[in-house]
Structure 1
Amino acid sequence: MEHDAAHGLIRIQLRQQRALRGMSQEEFGKRAAYSGSTVSAVETGTRPIDMPYAIRADEILETGGLFASLLRMAQRDGQPSWFKPWLEAERAAKQLRYFNPTLVPGLLQTANYARAVLRFDDTRPEREVEQQVAARLERQEILERERPPQVVAVVDESILCRRDAIMGEQLAHLLRMTELPNVHIHIVPASAGLHVGLSGPLALAMLPDGTWAGHLDDQLGGSPVVAEDGVATLLARWEGVRGAALPEALSIALMKEVESQHGPQ
């Protein structure tokens, strides 16, 4: 696969740059706060290269952000073709809108939550799962960049009430995200009953020129929505789910109440 080839080239460069500086795997690992076995696993491909590793390698090998840049490119290239238009819209957007009746939106997921979701496909190789987790976390960097988009996410209360350690950690993460001035999370309470959003998830991005692009997920993957009538329908559906949701302060209070039932994280 092209995606695996890109990661293979990064691993080759990591080995070469380390060797050029006369460092053994043990010495590099000691400087990077990784074990020698972890360094070996990354360089042989038995452990995926993640962004923290790439950033640390750039610092130690003084490569000026080379490995972080290469990894971002590999992660983008490794995304399914149907998802790439949305990734481009998401990165360029001034405003983002997400609704999902069954899952926390990907832009707000923890690594463990994302890993569990990706494992819904039980035929997906573990290495691919970890690569996709890394790519999903890399997307989240837009939330704290110098000029981040405004992000409004609406989720159903039922999502929060799944009682397991992964959801407890995810709830704590959502509450931390609400501390960002550009991130707003609203909960549709169980008392709302039936509402228009139950027909499925949606995502919307307002681009720099003021136009909107949409994205729909389904069991087979997803599809971009760019036609004017389709985008207008999604904007109307968004207003419906946003209207069914609690105000921000009450949503945060509800998340804190549910989090307290999970116990300390």
Structure 2
Amino acid sequence: MPGPKDLDPSSSPRALLGAELRHARERKGLSQADLGEPLFVSGSFIGQLEAGTRRMHVELAVQLDEILGTNGFFTRNCTALARSRYPDHFAEAAEAEAVATAIREYAQLLIPGLLQTSAYAEAVFRAYKPTAPDTEIAELVTARLQRACLLDDPTTPLLWAILDEAVLRRPVGGGPVMSEALDHVAELARGHRVIVQVLPFAAGAHAALTGPLKLMDFEDAPSLSFVEGPDMGKLLDDPATVKRHTLTFNLLQASAHSPQDSLALIESVAQDYGHGEEHP
């Protein structure tokens, strides 16, 4: 029987690679736990690979080819998929985001990437990389905007964003850029495509003072959380950690303005920026 054909890395690559892993495992008559044992990973981790919610690293792909007798298939395709358009610390999270059924995100300082406009994203990347050539900045902006294409589906994924009030008050790119950016967020909220809340300064101390947080749910795999800092990020699947981060998000929801009041505030601040107020 011929082996599976190589995947086109441009078309839902991780989901396709995961499906091939499931087929190859089942042909061998192995359970997820059986396959995980010689790899020193859990059956749950194998399930996440098959569901496309976790990235398959090259070292693991080599072992899978040996165990499953797939003649280098996973090694070849995994090597191709490793060439991500995203920074190394965020690539796995971006790929998981693309197959999530629900995304809940607390943004501490910036409008979340999925909700950014081109001008806002350009201002952010230019601040990160002040000496980078324009072509590099343009590529980063394009990659960020392409991530937002998952919102083209009218219902999936559910996106629930909690924005710290600092996100609204920091004039990234200046007044016109902020006015456009906040109008874009408000438009998505008015169109019932996303749920947005604002966590006001008046809330004082809250459950996520240490940094931003992203939670992702999937149809056929356990939930994940993602935490990040300067040039670093970590995708977490430990159930106790994800449970704790879920509680953190729930506490933020309780402290934030309602979606209706949040929309009114976002629109008001956008209008102030539009009238030339740099610090509304």
TM range, normalised to the smaller chain? 0.5 to 0.7
1:78 to 85, 89, 92: 85
1:168 to 156, 168, 179: 179
The answer to whether the aligner puts 1:105 opposite 2:116 as a matched pair is no
1:114–1:133 CA contact under 8 A, matched in 2: yes
The RMSD of aligned alpha carbons is 2.4
2-side partners of 1:146 and 1:195: how far apart?
Answer: 32
Taking a change above 3 Å as real, the CA distance of residues 264 and 143 of structure 1, as seen in their structure-2 partners, is farther
The answer to whether the aligner puts 1:252 opposite 2:263 as a matched pair is yes
2-side partners of 1:157 and 1:227: how far apart?
Answer: 30
SS in 2 for 1:239: helix
1:92 to 85, 89, 99: 99
Aligned to 1:217: 228
Aligned to 1:135: 143
1:215–1:224 CA contact under 8 A, matched in 2: yes
1:240 to 251, 256, 259: 251
Aligned residue identity for 1:145: D
- TM-score of the two chains, using structure 1 as the length reference: 0.67
Aligned residue identity for 1:81: D
Q: Which 5+ residue runs of structure 2 have no aligned equivalent?
A: 1-8, 10-79
Aligned to 1:17: none
- Give the CA deviation at 1:250: 0.6
Deviates more, 1:115-124 or 1:241-250: 115-124
1:1-265 equivalences under 5 Å are 77-119=84-126, 120-145=128-153, 147-163=155-171, 164-209=175-220, 211-263=222-274
- Percent identity reads 30
Q: Deviations over 1:1-38 (max 9, x none)?
A: xxxxx9xxxxxxxxxxxxxxxxxxxxxxxxxxxxxxxx
Misfit runs of 4+, over 6 Å: none
Taking a change above 3 Å as real, the CA distance of residues 195 and 166 of structure 1, as seen in their structure-2 partners, is same
2:105–2:160 CA contact under 8 A, matched in 1: yes
Taking a change above 3 Å as real, the CA distance of residues 124 and 80 of structure 1, as seen in their structure-2 partners, is same
1:149–1:182 CA contact under 8 A, matched in 2: no
1-side partners of 2:256 and 2:196: how far apart?
Answer: 10
Q: Deviations over 1:193-240 (max 9, x none)?
A: 121222100111101126211111201231211222221221121112
The number of residues matched between the two structures is 194
- Give the CA deviation at 1:147: 4.9
2:160–2:196 CA contact under 8 A, matched in 1: yes
SS in 2 for 1:229: helix
Q: Which 5+ residue runs of structure 1 have no aligned equivalent?
A: 1-5, 7-72
Aligned residue identity for 2:252: V
SS in 2 for 1:178: helix
- TM-score of the two chains, using structure 2 as the length reference: 0.64
1-side partners of 2:273 and 2:209: how far apart?
Answer: 26
Q: Deviations over 1:27-82 (max 9, x none)?
A: xxxxxxxxxxxxxxxxxxxxxxxxxxxxxxxxxxxxxxxxxxxxxx99x7222233
SS in 2 for 1:128: helix
2-side partners of 1:85 and 1:107: how far apart?
Answer: 16
